[in-house]
Amino acid sequence: MEFLLSQEMFVVGMLVTLCAALLMGFPVAFTLSGVALLAALLGNSFDLFELAFVAALPNRIYGIMTNDLLIAVPLFVFMGVMLERSKLAEELLDTMALVLGGVRAGLGIAVSLVGGLLAASTGIVGATVVTMGLLSLPTMLKRGYAATIACGSICAAGTLGQIIPPSIVLILLGDQISAAYQQAQLAQGNFSPDPVSVADLFVGALLPGLALVVLYIVWQIIYASLYPDRMPPIPESERAAISRSELTGKVVKVLLPTLSLIVLVLGSILIGVATPTEAAGVGAMGAIILAATRGQLTRKNLGAVMRSTAQVTAMVFVILIGAQLFSLVFRGFGGDDMVADFLASLPGGVFTAMFLTMALMFLLGFFLDFIEICFVVIPIVGPAVLMMDVNPVWFAIMVAVNVQTSFLTPPFGFSLFYLRGVAPKEVSTLDIYRGVAPFVLIQLFMLVILSLLPELATWLPKVVYG
């Protein structure tokens, strides 16, 4: 009994030390590995830990290096950064503003639609929020939009890249959920579990992602109906400056390449012609071609895209290696069994376990990036939750929507910081907080819908893949 209690103390100590170090601002990757190594050495000195668990790290790293799925990460990052540098967002926003500017809430609706399109083509939250903040916010304010609804619309639309495929979040979640599901099935005696693929998550996220866009637009229409002076249309005199034929030509010129790339990448995955990694390669090449046709494929831009891709990819894989070491030591102390026993003993069963898991991830989303949450939280709680007969696709989509919600929630939401950095001085931080509040409620409403109707995430994968 004393031995088990001592192991429990080490497990709790690891988690507390990890949280404290992260809140103090230490780098996540080095914190994960440092806490794990310190716990392993101390545990071994008290004969409570076998260093053989740490010796398995090289095999884990080799598994990461040879994981075909993870090759999609740098390719999709390259695709997103290249499209962002090719002025795609700017042209999309200008065009959609001209098309929808004549109606109330038109600019807000344009921002939501462009956010959905950028999410399906770039999937980079920070870049999307900053770009739309620089381009749309001054225009919306100039047209008489209230700062609150303008800021809320931009922040919410910018986070759609978390849930709408092809999303880096879903790729990393797919890898972690797949591993957690296999571990859970093996623990239950199923030695040939059905695989969970990223394609399943891409398909499962389509309906919730599109539903969020629709809910954003519905709220903007309701808000414009209640407060018409806060979301006015663009005057007819300004819209008459461009003819209908010119507008049609501009729409075709801007939307057709974007939609073609989205269909090419997502379509090839959905119909089973290409794996996510192969589709990512197609997307990267398509982004290069699209940038070249816009005259943006310069040596300067290409160099900037390559550097940004290398930085993001290096960050992802360094955190992943640190998380692997932390997971090994955590399991060596029996932490996975402790978490499983704790969740199984809770009153309320699956509901309570899911509620606590979602609450934990929501709170961590204030302080950690989605990459860190994927690699830190999922390996710890994922197997325990999935052992309770929870559908892995539904669980992954719930996590994605949840993390997206935390990105919007004041006072620490990452999306709010991105917009605050580029917003004009006359826009206060309180305006941003007040503006995102209704969209946070919409996100929470979507979580409730998903919890009551899991088929919203699981129905389409069954239809597409049987």
pLDDT at position 239: 67
Distance CA 82, CA 296 (A): 9
Q: Based on the number of CB atoms within 10 Å of its own CB, is 44 exposed (0-12), middle (13-18) or buried (19 or more)?
A: middle
Q: Please enumerate in sequence order all residues whose Cβ is within 8 A of that of 209, keeping only pairs 6 or more positions apart, or say none.
A: 116, 119, 160, 163, 164, 165
Backbone angles phi, psi at 103, to 5 degrees: -115, 160
Per-position DSSP letters for 244-258, written without gaps between them:
HHHHHHHHHHHHHHH
Q: Per-residue pLDDT for the chain (466 aa), expressed as one digit of tens each? A: 344 457 888 888 888 888 888 778 788 778 888 999 999 999 888 888 888 888 888 988 888 888 888 888 888 888 888 887 887 777 887 788 788 877 888 889 989 998 888 777 666 666 678 778 887 888 888 888 999 999 999 999 988 888 888 888 888 888 889 988 988 888 888 777 777 888 899 999 999 999 999 999 999 999 999 999 999 987 777 666 677 788 788 888 888 888 888 888 888 887 878 888 898 899 899 989 988 988 888 899 899 989 988 988 888 888 888 888 888 898 888 887 888 788 878 888 888 989 998 988 888 877 777 777 888 888 888 888 999 889 999 999 999 999 888 888 887 777 888 888 888 888 898 999 999 999 999 999 999 999 999 999 999 988 887 6
- What is the structure's pLDDT at 398? 94
**Residue 37 pLDDT:** 92
What are the distances in angstroms from CA 232 to CA 236, 248, 411? Answer: 12, 23, 29
Cβ-proximal residues to 462 (8 Å cutoff; 6+ apart), any chain? none
- Interatomic CA distance for residues 396 and 173, integer angstroms: 7
- pLDDT given at position 1: 39
Cα radius of gyration (the chain): 23
HSE of 151, CA atoms in CB hemisphere, 13 A? 27
Angle, CA 170 vertex, CA 165 and CA 173 arms, to 5°:
175
The HSE-up count of residue 109 (CA atoms within 13 Å, CB side) is 22
Amino acid letter, residue 450: L
Contacts of 267 (CB under 8 A, 6+ apart): 273
User: What pLDDT is recorded for position 3?
Assistant: 44
Instruction: Give the pLDDT confidence score for residue 63 in this predicted structure.
Output: 84
Could you tell me the end-to-end alpha-carbon distance of the chain, in angstroms, rounded to an integer? 48
